[in-house]
């Protein structure tokens, strides 16, 4: 299969925005869904749709089988020891909130500290701040340098006896930095401190092995990896799942309910109250099949190639400033043009058919650290191509022309 052929799996890309060809470069926000996943969703809706784990009838059995298979696919995708350790959530945000609730409210209290990094998305900051306010837990931040690289040499000094959890993203959504999370785990585990990794921007672009990483918690979203919205995964070590509080209460997460009280089911059901996102989870399973069919290594290499080309070419445009120049980077190009607000860059690019994101990318502390309000962010997927880059660069030149 060539990349050109692979592009044909994404019919949505083959359309015009006004007079222009669509150049979809907002993949870090949500990636596109290949026909193979659309077909699987259609098959589910037209042949299997039903509730899971409840019915004895044929459709419920089909839906249950497909849903359970999706969980197996997730486990094998992450190399998790067991699918019972892979909880379906609504997405990364919910996965992290589940840990803040189920782990944080159970094990953390006054005087304790959570270490986060300077590169975090709000999803890996706000739940900890909320927990902190409620329980008297404070946050400590691993700093970064001007290139957007974490200063991990400072981490050992941050890890004193008060630290009960370390939370870092695997790849920064705002700058694209690939963090050395294996090193974070090594340092934290050296002091018996568990680690949560926000993998939202990593799993679509690289092979992740949770056992090799040793992470205690690993969260991600389906919609950034060619799957549908509405589902994500929280992987956790069994020792925590056994001891953590449930997040939500309701059906499916119990063994028995009487007026005297409730006994909870085991993981993953304990953490999946109510009807789960059945269709989306099955779609995620199909997305995993699709990505593995191409190969995560090939995907990563293709995206690195596109990023290198785009970086070189955008720097040729006078007045462009890049944010995030880490040694190890995923396919994110965060930039601005001197004297132009990133929102204006986004609007002009949109008028040329180029979809990017402009703003603080839900990472305001990153923007504050860099002393800017926002950036324009082009983010690449393996189905992008050189024409997308041409269109991006032409659009940025037009921004320059318009704003002089
Ligand atoms: N980042 C972006 O444009 P949800 O919304 O729960 O699926 O994912 C939240 C999230 C958590 N961590 C990281 C590193 C992320 O990048 C995101 C989502 C999108 O960058 C939307 S803000």
User: CA 331, CA 321: separation in Å to the nearest integer?
Assistant: 17
* Residues forming a β-bridge with 87: 234
Place of tokens 């006004």: 18
- 86, 167, 226, 362: which is the annotated catalytic residue? 362
Å from CA of 224 to ligand 1 middle: 8
167 is catalytic: no
Sign of the alpha-carbon torsion through 264, 270, 274, 275: negative
Mean pLDDT rounded to a whole number for the chain: 97
Of 372, 398, 364, 392, whose CA–CA distance to 380 is shortest?
392
Taking 90 as the threshold, does the pLDDT of residue 3 lie above it?
yes
Mean pLDDT of 328-349: 97
For domain 3-26+295-403, the CATH architecture is: Alpha-Beta Complex (3.90)
Q: Is the pLDDT of residue 267 over 80?
A: yes
Residues linked to residue 70 through DSSP beta bridges, in sequence order: none
13: confidence class by pLDDT, cuts 50, 70, 90:
very high
If you measure from the C-alpha of residue 386 to the centroid of ligand 1, how many angstroms do you get, rounded to a whole number? 26
CATH no. for 38-292: 3.40.640.10
pLDDT of residue 53: 81
Of all protein residues, whose CA lies closest to atom 8 belonging to ligand 1? Answer: 92
Report which of 274, 276, 250, 277 is spatially closest to residue 264, judged by C-alpha positions. Answer: 250
167-221: per-residue pLDDT in tens?
Answer: 999 999 999 999 999 999 999 999 999 999 999 999 999 999 999 999 999 999 9
**How much is the pLDDT for 1?**
86
Long-range contacts of residues 9-12, Cβ cutoff 8 Å, at least 24 apart: 9/34, 9/35, 9/36, 9/290, 9/383, 10/34, 10/35, 10/383, 11/35
> Cβ distance 183 to 166 under 8 Å?
no
Q: Tell me: the pLDDT tens digits for 207-233?
A: 999 999 999 999 999 999 999 999 999
**What is the tens place of the pLDDT at every residue in 66-119?**
999 999 999 999 999 999 999 999 999 999 999 999 999 999 999 999 999 999
Ligand 1 closest atom vs CA 169: 14
Q: How confident is the model at residue 54 (pLDDT cuts 50, 70, 90)?
A: confident
What token pair was written down for 156?
């050992």
pLDDT at 195: 98
Q: Give tens-digit pLDDT for 362-386.
A: 999 999 999 999 999 999 999 999 9
CA distance 49 to 283: 13
pLDDT at 159: 98
Contact 240, 108 (CB under 8 A): no
- What CA–CA distance (Å, rounded) separates 206 from 203? 6
- Residue 184 is predicted with a pLDDT of 98
Residue 354 has pLDDT above 90, yes or no: yes
pLDDT at site 388: 98
- Three-point CA angle 66, 71, 75, nearest 5°: 145
pLDDT band at residue 35 using 50, 70 and 90 as cut-offs:
very high
Is the pLDDT at 404 greater than 80? The verdict is: no
Judged against a pLDDT cut of 80, whether residue 55 lies above it is answered with: no
Residue 316 has pLDDT above 90, yes or no: yes
Cis omega (within 30 of 0) on the bond before 202?
Answer: no
DSSP structure class, residue 46: I
Atom of ligand 1 nearest to the CA of 357: 3
Judge whether residue 7 has pLDDT over 90: yes
Asked if residue 92 has its Cβ within 6 Å of ligand 1, the reply is yes
Angle at 399 between CA 393 and CA 400, to 5 degrees: 90
Q: Which tokens hold the place of 253? A: 């997460």
Token duo for residue 24: 């979809």
Instruction: Tell me, using a 6 A CB cutoff, whether residue 231 lines ligand 1.
Output: no
Give yes or no on whether 3-26+295-403 and 38-292 have one common fold: no
Task: For residue 119, count other CB atoms closer than 10 A to its CB.
Answer: 30
Is the CB of 27 within 6 Å of ligand 1?
A: no
**Predicted confidence band of residue 36 (pLDDT cuts 50, 70, 90):** very high
Cβ density class 340-358: b for 16+ within 10 Å, e for less: bebebbbebbbebbbbbbb
DSSP 21: E
Residue 351 alpha carbon to ligand 1 centre in Å = 25
In the chain, where are the structural domains located?
Answer: 3-26+295-403, 38-292
Q: Comparing C-alpha atoms, which of 328, 335, 326 is closest to residue 393?
A: 335
pLDDT tens digits, 228-249: 999 999 999 999 999 999 999 9
170: burial class by Cβ within 10 Å (0-12, 13-18, 19+)? buried
Q: Are 205 and 174 in contact (CB under 8 A)?
A: no
């Amino acid at each position: 299969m060539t990349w050109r052929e692979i592009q044909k799996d994404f019919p949505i890309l083959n359309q015009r925005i006004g007079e222009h060809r669509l150049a979809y470069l907002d993949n870090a926000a949500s990636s596109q869904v290949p026909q193979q996943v659309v077909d699987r969703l259609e098959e589910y809706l037209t042949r299997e749709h039903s509730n899971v784990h409840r019915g004895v009838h044929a459709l419920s059995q089909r839906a249950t089988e497909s849903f359970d298979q999706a969980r197996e696919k997730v486990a094998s995708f992450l190399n998790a020891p067991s699918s019972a350790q892979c909880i379906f959530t609504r997405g990364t945000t919910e996965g992290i909130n589940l840990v803040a609730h189920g782990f944080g409210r159970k094990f953390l209290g006054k005087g304790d500290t959570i270490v986060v990094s300077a590169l975090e998305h709000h999803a890996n900051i706000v739940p900890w701040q909320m927990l902190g306010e409620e329980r008297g837990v404070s946050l400590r931040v691993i700093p970064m340098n001007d290139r957007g690289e974490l200063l991990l040499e400072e981490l050992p000094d941050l890890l004193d006896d008060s630290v009960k959890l370390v939370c870092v993203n695997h790849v920064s959504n705002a700058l694209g930095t690939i963090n050395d999370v294996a090193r974070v785990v090594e340092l934290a585990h050296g002091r018996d401190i568990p680690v949560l990794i926000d993998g939202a921007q990593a799993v679509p672009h690289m092979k992740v092995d949770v056992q090799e990483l040793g992470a205690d918690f690993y969260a991600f979203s389906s919609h950034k990896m060619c799957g549908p919205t509405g589902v994500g995964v929280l992987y956790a070590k069994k020792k925590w799942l056994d001891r953590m509080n449930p997040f939500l209460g309701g059906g499916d997460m119990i063994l028995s309910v009487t007026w005297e009280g409730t006994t909870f089911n085991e993981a993953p059901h304990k953490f999946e109250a109510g009807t789960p996102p059945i269709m989306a989870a099955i779609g995620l399973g199909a997305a995993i099949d699709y990505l593995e069919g191409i190969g995560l290594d090939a995907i990563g290499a293709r995206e690195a190639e596109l990023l290198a080309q785009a970086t070189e070419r955008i720097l040729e445009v006078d007045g462009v400033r890049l944010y995030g120049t880490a040694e190890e980077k995923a396919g994110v190009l965060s930039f601005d043009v001197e004297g132009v607000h990133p929102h204006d860059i986004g609007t002009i690019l949109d008028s040329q058919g180029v979809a990017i994101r402009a703003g603080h990318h839900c990472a305001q502390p990153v923007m504050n650290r860099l002393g800017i309000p926002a950036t324009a962010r082009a983010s690449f997927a393996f189905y992008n191509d050189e024409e997308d880059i041409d269109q991006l660069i032409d659009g940025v030149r037009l921004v320059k022309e318009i704003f002089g």
